[in-house]
Amino acid sequence: MTQEAHIVVGLGFGDEGKGVATDWLCRRALAQGRTPLVVRFNGGHQAGHTVTTATGLRHVFSNFGAGTLRDVPTYWSSYCTFSPGSMLKECEALQAAGVQPRLLVDALCPVTTHYDVLYNRALEIGRGPARHGSCGLGFGATVERHEQTPLRLYAQDLRFPAVYGHKLRQICAHYRARIQAETSFDFDQLNHDAEDQRFADHAEALGRLLADNTVQIVTEAAVFGAGAPWETYVFEGAQGILLDMDFGLFPHVTRSRTSSANALALLQRHQPALAATAQIHYVSRAYHTRHGAGPLPHEAPVALVNTAAETNQQNDYQGTFRTGPLAIELLNYALACDATHAAGLPRHLLVTCLDQLPDGRLPCWHQGKLHQIQPSELPGLVETEFASCRFSYSNAGDGLG
């Protein structure tokens, strides 16, 4: 059976329904008798991808791929940061629900420490009304530390206490100096020894998961090289193109490429023929959302129903969950940005959350006017030809057919 690759990309500011799309693609691959693997290719544990099955099982995925409820393993690529404590907490929740997750972590994943989280939060709080919209989980700080300093802590290091202990002390000194120089926060008011011990406990618990193969430390070549058992790669993007580090509206962006760029780079390095046939699945809600600071053109409350299971709620770092009608200009911009990487590849469109619109009509701004359109009219308004268009009226991927 020939291999295939599907890349799931959000067209907005995140929260588009990428978990639903990933779950659906995994279910379809399994129905075809194929062996799928979910690949996380950007972001980190700040993702929140909600999956609900037809039987009512619901989980918000942050450290595992959205195919996990289908018993599909996840590869956590080196483009992603890795938080051992957050992963352990989610693993326990999944196991308590009767799910046995499997995670392949790239040996070179940058590890998020409590010091990255502390710096992230101190800096964002200090910005006051000029906040960037960070979720306060240390993703950007981790990436910056790895890119701009020699203080690199990798997933493979967590097997060696003497190594990660030494590195953690250096990271602590680094952030003590930065926090004291850049913020008014008193770094030394916290019990850092206790937090260091908690980190060590997490590393020890990770070792137990490595011993029973729930988690494996792997290399990129082993996942994509000759002999790999996967017949379908489902690349699960995090956040959306409008937050992309290259294309988003600075400074309200993420330190990540949220387009198809990283996914295609992984394939091109190891399976260029598969990269040339990858299918791109663009996901958008039936309205725009934004969680956190930053521009949201045409922002206005959208009348919604059936939002009881909404994953994103107000929090201390991102504030309220904001909405607005779809802006066709922004959809076209996002699609044009990704075309710089995915030109010539088959493209698909998935519009989610249509069950949340009271009359089933989709509000959108187009050519300077607010329109109420039928969902089937949307593909004709954007500047991209799609191989298929699907519309989701349920929070369960099973409803996509």
Q: Which of the pair, 319 or 165, is modelled with greater confidence?
A: 165
- Residue 384 pLDDT level (bands cut at 50, 70, 90): very high
d(CA 239, CA 116): 20
Q: Which residues are annotated as a binding site?
A: 14-20, 48-50, 239, 254, 353-355
Residue 193 — pLDDT band, cuts 50, 70, 90?
very high
The backbone torsions φ and ψ at residue 248, rounded to the nearest 5 degrees and listed phi first, read -70, 175
Length of the chain: 401
Name the architecture of domain 4-108+216-400: 3-Layer(aba) Sandwich (3.40)
Nearest to 257 by CA among 41, 17, 63: 41
Q: What are the tens digits of pLDDT across the range 57-76?
A: 999 999 999 999 999 999 99
Give me the active site residues, please: 15, 49
Residue ranges of the binding site for GTP: 14-20, 48-50, 353-355
pLDDT per position as a tens digit, 273-305: 999 999 999 999 999 988 777 888 888 888 888
Known binding site for IMP: residues? 15-18, 239, 254
CATH 3.40.440.10 spans which residues of the chain?
A: 4-108+216-400
Q: CB neighbours of 162 closer than 8 A, spacing ≥ 6?
A: none
Nearest to 354 by CA among 11, 7, 16: 16
Binding site for Mg(2+): residue ranges? 15, 48
pTM: 0.93
What's the CA gap between 400 and 19, in Å, rounded? Answer: 13
Boundaries of CATH 1.10.300 in the chain?
Answer: 114-211
The residue to which tokens 């308004």 are assigned: 381
Output the average pLDDT for the chain.
Answer: 91
Which CATH architecture best describes the domain 114-211? Orthogonal Bundle (1.10)
Q: Is the predicted pLDDT of residue 318 greater than 50, yes or no?
A: no
At 85-124, the pLDDT tens digits run: 999 999 999 999 999 999 999 999 999 999 999 998 888 7
